[in-house]
Amino acid sequence: MAKLNKLQSASLPDAVLDRRQAVPALIENPDDFLMVAGLAGTAWELSALTQESPRLFGLGGAMGAAPMMGLGLALAQPKKRVLVCTGDGELLMNVGALATIALQNPPNLTIICVDNGHYGETGNQDSHTGLGVRLDVIAAGCGFPVVHVINTEADMAEGRRLVREGGGLAFILLRVKEGPATHEGKKNLVPHIERDRFKAALLG
């Protein structure tokens, strides 16, 4: 039987945080940001956290888009803080985007990867990170000037500080247990209406 083994190089401890508490605790005040959320879990939880704020663009498809949408937005709006919040599967789909983003080094962009190590929407298969692939090491190797891993509550204060103060391009790996994201029945906006209301809120 084909079996995927955990990488021998796997070196992070088992995740202990629950995303339903950890994501709001890390972001604190979402009103400070323009936000892009990757499909499924992160889009739902940010939608709930912001009560469907028009300053959030939540993806329902186009897997792999979130980090690069954040880059385009951050370059277009250099005076605003841009927060990308996405899952490990979404990030892995276009992991080269980390290299592209690091080369541009937009100081107003923070990327949070909510890493549950699984493809939660498709039957909870192990993702590459669940088997030991280190996105934090990849981000550092791409040249992200700030990389921070949150394994436990003890790592949260520094994560919060980075999110709140900004001060440079940052990659934050928030490691969470398997389990559902907060889902308050996002209305699944028609994509072009979501785009229109984001732009209207930002640009009038």
Contact 150, 172 (CB under 8 A): yes
Residue 159 lies near other proteins (rule: CB under 8 A): no
Footprint (CB under 8 A) of other proteins, residues 88-147:
94, 96-97, 99-100, 103-104
Closer residue to other proteins (CB): 49 or 142:
142
Q: Position of tokens 């592209």? A: 100
Look at the alpha carbons of 43, 44, 50, 55 in this order and tell me if their dihedral is positive or negative.
Answer: positive
Closer residue to other proteins (CB): 32 or 179:
32
Instruction: Give the integer Cα–Cα distance in Å for 111 and 46.
Output: 14
Closer residue to other proteins (CB): 67 or 130:
67
In sequence order, what are the beta bridge partners of 175?
A: 115
Q: Which helix (H) or strand (E) holds 111?
A: strand 109-115
Determine which residue in the list 16, 75, 157, 200 makes contact with other proteins, applying CB under 8 A.
75
Q: Report strand pairing: 109-115 vs 56-58.
A: unpaired
Kindly determine how many residues on this chain lie close enough to bind other proteins according to the rule CB under 8 A. 36
Determine which residue in the list 58, 70, 89, 120 makes contact with other proteins, applying CB under 8 A.
70
Q: Position of tokens 């339903």? A: 20
Residue 61 lies near other proteins (rule: CB under 8 A): yes
Residue 60 CA, chain-centre distance (Å), reads 14
User: What does the per-residue mask of binding to other proteins show for 40-59, with x meaning CB under 8 A?
Assistant: -----------------x-x
Residues that bind other proteins (CB under 8 A): 34, 36, 57, 59, 61-77, 94, 96-97, 99-100, 103-104, 191-192, 194-195, 198-199, 202-203
